[in-house]
Each structure stands twice: as C-alpha cells, then as structure tokens.
A and B are shown apart, each in its own frame.
Chain A
Amino acid sequence: MSRFTRATDLAVFTIVILALWQCLYDYAGEVAITAPMATFRNAGDLLVKPEFWPNVGATMLAFAYAFAISAVAGVALGVLLGVRRFAGEVAEPILAAIYTIPKVTLYPVMLLAFGLGMSAKVAFGVIHGVIPIVLFTMSAVKNLSPTLLRTVRVMRLTGWQAASTVIVPAILPEVISGLRVGFSLTLLGVLIGEMFASQRGLGFLIINGINGHNVRMMTAVTLIVVLFAVTANSLLLALDRHIHHHR
C-alpha cells in the first residue's frame, strides 16, 4: 500500500470519527458530552494548567511501576512455564480462567490488602496486565522449533549464551505482541483503579468530573487518555510489525 493511500485513509477515518462525535453531541447535548472542537480546546487548556500535571504524574508513575512489574514477572514466568512443559500444562487453564474473570470484583481485596493509594493502583494494573504477557511468552517458548534447541545442545552453549543468542531472539516477536496487549490492559487496570478509590490521577479526574457533573473536564480527560492509549498502541504495533517482518 502506498504511503499516500494510507494517509488518505487515516484522514478519512479521522473525519468520520469527528463527524460521528459531532452528531452524538448534537443528539445528546451539553449535559452528556462536549463538541469535538470545544473538547480539543478544553484539553489544550488542561494541558497548560499546572494543577493538571501532578495527576498525569500520579497515573504515569503507577502505570510505569505496574507495567515494569508485569513485563518482568510475565516474561520470567512465561519462559519458566514454557520450558517446564508439565508445569505449563498445569498452569495454562488456570491462567486462562483468571484472565476471563472480571477483575474489578477483586478491587476491594486489593484495597484491603494494600491500602488506599499507589500500591493498590499498581497491584490492580499488574493483575490486569501480567497474564497475557505470561500466556504469549509461554506459547512462544513452547513453539520454539526443536531444531533450535538441538542446535543449542550441539554447540554446547551455556544457559546464558543459549538464552541471549538463541531463545530470546526467537521468542522476541511473540513477547512484543504480549507486551503490547499487556501494556493496554495495565493502563486499563491503573485507570479503573483510580476511578474507584484514589485522590489523584487521570481516572480520578474522570470520575470526579462525573460526580460533579463537570462534563467539560470528563470529556477532555477522556480524550487525552484515549489519544495517549491509541498513540502508544500504534507505536508498539509498528514495532511489533517491524520485528515480525524482519524475522
């Protein structure tokens, strides 16, 4: 596909979304949602306000911790369960079941266990994000071609050498895909965490906007969050495709 058609598609796409949004606004009115242009203006106003940034900082800090923990623990656990076949077979359905339960229900447990504040948000992000990373990594390790493993043995590579020169490069594309899914879910977890019980952060601003009928604030923060999520996801997706392509 040429770069030109892709740019056209993106432009058409953006215009359609904005038009739908405008229609929604015309239908529902000022009590539910603000108009697209006004929202962009409000979002711009928010971005230059000094009291906005501590909230961004709180969300980003919680998100960074949660994602770092999810990524490290997820990849480590995934590799372990992939290498130990039997343990993997025991664990996979359990993990899949945990993945499908509504984790919001566990929120009170997190709060009771970690208290109000940063650690509860981080824990909530981790329980959302870690499982897809484990599952993707595990299936990548399990599907490693046996030839590669035999090569490792023939060449008498040490564990570290095998990991750094063969196994990691071989599973990297799937791990990146897993990290992309984990990234989105961790962000979701942190934001939901902030919506329920927090004094700070973007999720808190949204729920605060709702409770105080501050539609402008709510829509503007929602826009900022969505733009951030979509941008981050597009970057990771580009990386993902780049790596898959260059294999």
Chain B
Amino acid sequence: MATSLEKIQSVMTKKYGSALEISTPGSSIRLEGSLDTYQMKVEAGWTAARFGYKAVINDITVPDVQEETIACSSYVDNVLERLHFDVAIIGGGVIGTSIARELSKWNMKIILIEKEEDVGVHTSSRNDGMIHDGFAAKPGTLKALYNVRGNRLWEPLASDLGIGFKRPGSLLLFSNPAMKALYPLMADRAKRNEVDGWEFWSRERVIAEEPYVTSKQHGGFFLPSAAVISPYKATVALAESAMLNGAKLMTSTCLTGFEIEHNTIRRLHTNRGICTASIVINASGNWADIIAEMAHDRFFSLHHRRGTECILDMESSRWQQHIMSMPSILQVREKTKGGGIVLTEEGNVLIGPTAEEHPGREQYTTSPSDMIKLKKHFTLNSKLSMDQIITYFCGVRPCTYEEDFIVGPSDNISNLIHVAGIQSPGLASAPAIAADVAEMVIAKAKTFMEIQPKANWIPKRTADIITRRLSLEARDELIRLDPSYGKIICRCEQVSEKEVVNALHSTLPATSLDAVKRRTRVQMGRCHGGFCTARCIDIIARELHIDACDVVKKGPDSQICKGNMSHDETNRIC
C-alpha cells in the first residue's frame, strides 16, 4: 500500500526541510526541489522508495551537478535508414547481448545498437566478474530471484560460449566470535533465496582452506556456488553468438530519439539512420532512465554508485583459494556487500569494490581515497600487499532507488520493455533476465507475427584459442599450422601474435587497443603494456590497413601516437 501524499510530505519535510516538492505521477513518486549534495539527493530518493510506489523519479537538483547527456558517436551514415526490425535492443552490455542471444533462437530480425566502438565497454567490463551465489540479495527481490537462477545457468552457458568459468566459492569470515550466533539466520536467508549450498566453517577449517587468512577470523559462512567469469569476454562472446545466429549488431550507433504515436514507438532515430522496430528493449545501463525519457516513459530515476577495484599480480593467486570477505555487523544496513578479495577467472586477485554515490554516469576517475578504503581487505590475507597491485579501475553501477532490478514491459508504451537498474548481481543474473525478457518478447510478438524457433540455431560458439592454456604438444601443433602462434608478443600474459590477429578478424572484430586487450589479455599483465604496446600498434595497423598513428586506445579521439616519422619525406602529423 502506498503511503498518502500528506504523510510523505510530512516525513520528507521533517528530514529534508521544505525544500522538496512531492508528486505521484502514474504509479511513481516524484521528488523535485534542490538539496546541497548528491549524497543528500540519493538519500532522499532512498527515503521516498519506502513509501510503496512502483518507482522513484528523483528530479532534485544539486548545485554543480548537471544532468548529463549521452555522448553520441560523431560517426554519421545512413546504413539503418528505412530498415525494419522485429526487435531493437538498445545497449550492448552483458544484458543487451544476453537478450540478443536468447532472441536469436527465434526467426526474428534483431538489431542491437551500441554507442561505443565495442560491446561491454562500460559497466559490463568494469566489475569483478563474480557470479554471485545469491545469498546477499534481499529475499523476495528480483535480484534474489534472477541471481540464483543465473548462477545455475552460467556454467553451461560459459561452456557453450567457449569462455572460461571457475567456481571457487565465497567465504564470509566472521570478525567476532558472537557472529557464529548469526549462522541460523544466515542459513535461513540462504534457504529463502534458494541458494545452492552453504556451510558453516570453523576457525580451524578456515585456516585449513586458506592458510594465509587473517588471525582475526572466527570461522565463516561458505557459499560453494559463487563463481567467476571474465565479464568482458562473456559480453563479447554473447554478442558473437547472437551474431552467428543472425542478429545484427551495430557498434558506434547511438539512439538519438524515438518517434511515438498512439503510445507506441514507431521509429528509432540514430546517427546511422532512422529505422523501425516492432518491439524495443531498453538495456542501456547507466542511461536507462534517459532512454526511458526519450520514450516519454521515465517512471524511474537511476543513481550512480561507483566502485573501484585493484588488480594484483598473477603470482598473488597462489595464496588465495576462495573469494573472501569479512563483512562487518554494521554493514547490514549498507546498500552493498562491502567488497573483499575476488579471484578472477584468469588467475588474478582483485581487491574491492568500493561503493560511493557519484553523479557521473561514465566517470571512471579513481582517487587516493579509494585506495585507503581498499586497504582493509589486504589484511584478510597475510601474503597480499599493496605492492602487488598492477592497476586499478573504476566502474559505475546503475541503481534504482528501490535498489532492485526493473525487468518488464512499460506501463505506457505498448512496445517497450525496460531492463534497468541492473547493478550487482547483474552479471550473475544476466542469463536468467535474458530468458525472462525473451519470453515477454515472444509472447508479445506472437500477437502480431508468425514466429518459430530456429531449427538451425547454433548454441556453441567456437572458443578463442588461448595458447597459454594449451599443452606443449597442442601448442606445437598449432605453431605448425601457423607460426605466428609461436611468436609471443605479450611476455607477461604469454599472448601470441596470432591471438591478436584473431581478435582483429573475429565475428565482432576488435578495432581498438583496449578491445584487443579485453579479448586477448595483452597489456593486462604486470608490465601493463610497457613492452607490448608498440608491437600491438604495429599489428593493429597492419591488419586493419591503417596508419600506425591512427591506431586508437578506445574509440574516437584516443589515438595513441600523434605523428609518424616513418613516411617518406613529410612528417605525418595525425
């Protein structure tokens, strides 16, 4: 039951002064007015979320925080002009690509548009790759539902996609002996969320399993189903699998507007032309509320919670066997799990993430204070130290004020489905969300078209060749087929020249150094590109038939070099 407007007004006035104006358009609650900080704005949104409305529209303004607009690719052509699609998916993150792949099982014309030069550039590549067990999600939420289902789906899916998958399990350490008493409560929550397995580990058991664990632990709660994948490889593989099954994928393609008639999206305007689609899926991550607004259907607002993680040298993984954290009792009231130690599928140790409300949807600036926040996790394992850090990165979680996912058809626009607020555990949930969204799309499509499952749908994507994971015999044979498999260009991660070449000519080809990095792991090791960057530039230029100084790090205006002296006579300035 939604609280009455008068009651809300009085609660909000008490908390935030009379500065706020409250209304209840549709089934949402809307906040207007101004507050001093972004943190206060977010807190007001959280408060409003408790009043029982479908969603919070938070239009509170904050000094020095401007509403952001989508930075659209400057590339213009008309390849999409007058084309019609049965389904258009906005956004090439792990959610959009998962949905594209699910829908590619049916004889429908699908397009996925992504504004960046590659898929999985933002939140889908800026996370720790964890396939959560589902324990942390609040029982009864969509997060809890999709997380546990998604966890079950990922292992076979990873195998179909030809990507790595590991299940190290997650260990929550008790920081104080009294926490043992919480075990029945924890077990109850795990049961309610239908988590696949949980165990109580004594202090001694923890030491046996994690020999370098902090002496400050008092046993722990172990969740064996927690797993890890490479989030960017997964997103690329999902996109490629969809493409292999006929879905059209357009990168550097940005939605600029919808044409709406009779509460139905008629046309999609993009920098690549105007096209039509019978059904539109909003999977646009941190921009989902902006895209909803374009469809005159902004019934929710997103807030943006950034997180920083640091990556340790591969050698550090010798000392850590499981995902591990030590949640504090106070953390129960926090919006996130508080971070810890995560093992990646590739064998690095990650420390993080932090959680900080911050207005920038795509601002990935890190700061020294992030490192200070991460320091505490290093003490969980006596062998880990700050000097093992190779690098650190920041990602932004798209969050609704209800702190739950939005997955479902729009109330107002007849052919729009929103998949929004997909924060953690979004990666874990992706296959389950995609399955549900596909069902919604199929049900809807059946009302106006004949659709059939594709008889020749190909579930398997051929795995990329990763030579460092092969036996010497297998590597030897490969090198005989193509000697460039024997030319190691990245010494830290043992990547051969041929693997880079493959990434540049794959189903969804890499066009930038970062895209090559996500696909092959060049530049990801301890030298962090010191040795291989020059060789990568050379290979990219050669394979893409471009000048070396036109090789970009990540999309337009990110050329790595500014001039090329190797041309005859004139110094070419890029």
Pairing of A with B: no
List chain B positions with a Cβ less than 8 A from chain A. Answer: none
Binding site for B on A (CB under 8 A): none
